[in-house]
Chains A and B, each alone.
Chain A
């Protein structure tokens, strides 16, 4: 009887020991799996870093400006009035402000002066509405394409370049100055265009308060000495990841965020330019869209 009890106790102990060993093994297996998962994640992250360090990063174009193809220039100069009208100017975030200054002219015509730089992301954004608006009054040739610096905010924003471009119009003159490229040299960017002494004086005189909000920002745009704008009228973020062709295509669709940003700003620039050209040409300046956009122009400063 006592022996049977002892045997039962021994069996119970054996089973308990087996159970404990099983639980221990199970726990070890689970822990191994957990540690394995953590190591796997660390290997993936480490792998990404290693691949990047050995040169697997995205190669971004940082070369000099190229020429805009005729399709791009045509797309920007042939936006239908109906598209401008559909976008309107209700959503425009910022607009040129009126100033009291001597008329800015060239060759007897009112002059639009743009001073920016190819590295600058806000210039990258602003060239689109400026080009679209000016294309309603004249023709660009040798317009370039470039992108903002990859080292700056809103990196590699696709845009146009006024470097080397010429503009012909019976209504107005245009000077576009790109002071640097998007290529870094030392702590700055490679110099490109140098403004004339007269343009530099205009920049120094009117690109500061009270005419504009901050001192010396680019892009700076003086519209005939009647309106000035400094900085971008919309966020370059809208253009993120898009090529010039994609941006031009998006301008055809008035419901696209790009068209809303670029064309509403272009409408306001058009309204400002119409003030310089005595509302010529009438087919541009007498539209309801441009008339409404004129109300967005900032009140007189300085």
Chain B
């Protein structure tokens, strides 16, 4: 009986954990691309460079670094962490820590995304398409993690 229950738990992760993993991997890919572009001076950035949508203007602005660390690199680190925390064993573990770290991660991510959107809209006066994709994925991650937490509290 216990074995059946265990097996059932193994197979019934639900949609949200898998969606979280998929979004994290997508974010990881885009963040890796932005990081590559950051360190190669954005010479191959697939994005318009005139008008409101202007990736180069955003990625070369003073807001492209935080305490000297490229924001693209911080984004990459965030998605590496979220991907690691979203693999099935991390959802199945009895330890409360993966859940806590996921929550801390998405909360930090959302605050940072709000800051970056503010910088783009009010300080740089330009939008970076790829950055916007990363922002959207972070907001989706936040929604997924927080709704999953509501549906399946760590203690249950």
- A interface residues, Cβ below 8 angstroms from B: 27, 30-31, 33-35, 37-38, 41-42, 44-45, 48-49, 51-52, 56-58, 60, 150-155, 237, 240-241
Contact = CB atoms under 8 A, between A and B. Distances in A.
A263 B72 CA distance: 30
B125 A153 contact: no
A123 to B, nearest CB: 16
Given A153-B49, A240-B62, A241-B62, A38 B143 contact: yes
A48 B114 contact: yes
B5 to A, nearest CB: 19
- Main secondary structure, interface of A, reads helix
Given A31-B150, A151-B51, A155-B61, A56 B122 contact: yes
A49 B121 contact: yes
B114 A45 contact: yes
Interface in B108-155: 110, 113-114, 117-118, 121-126, 139, 142-143, 146-147, 149-151, 153
Contacts of B124: 155
- Main secondary structure, interface of B, reads helix
Contacts of A60: 125
B150 A34 contact: yes
A42 B118 contact: no
Contacts, number: 71
A38 B60 contact: no
Given A30-B151, A34-B150, A58-B125, 11 more contacts: A31-B147, A31-B151, A35-B147, A41-B114, A41-B142, A42-B139, A45-B139, A49-B117, A52-B122, A151-B51, A153-B49
A57 B147 contact: no
A84 to B, nearest CB: 26
A241 B65 CA distance: 13
B114 A44 contact: yes
Contacts of A41: 110, 114, 139, 142
A185 B152 CA distance: 58
Contacts of B117: 45, 48-49
Given A153-B49, A240-B61, A241-B62, A48 B54 contact: no
Interface string B42-58: 00000001110010110
A237 B151 CA distance: 47
B55 to A, nearest CB: 10
Interface in B24-68: 49-51, 54, 56-57, 60-62
A38 B145 CA distance: 10
B150 A151 contact: no
Given A56-B122, A58-B122, A58-B123, A151 B57 contact: yes
A96 to B, nearest CB: 22
A42 B136 CA distance: 10
A151 B147 CA distance: 40
Contacts of B147: 31, 34-35, 38
9 A-B pairs with the lowest CB-CB distances in the bound complex, closest first: A34-B150, A240-B62, A30-B150, A52-B121, A31-B150, A34-B146, A38-B143, A241-B62, A153-B60
Interface in B43-99: 49-51, 54, 56-57, 60-62
Nearest to B121: A52
Nearest to A42: B139
Contacts of A151: 50-51, 54, 57
Q: Which of A34, A49, A241 has the most CB of B within 10 A?
A: A34
A29 B43 CA distance: 50
A56 B118 CA distance: 11
B118 A48 contact: yes
B140 to A, nearest CB: 10
Interface string B96-108: 0000000000000
Contacts of A30: 149-151, 153
Contacts of B60: 153-154, 237
B62 A34 contact: no
A33 B146 CA distance: 9
A150 B61 contact: no
Contacts of B118: 48
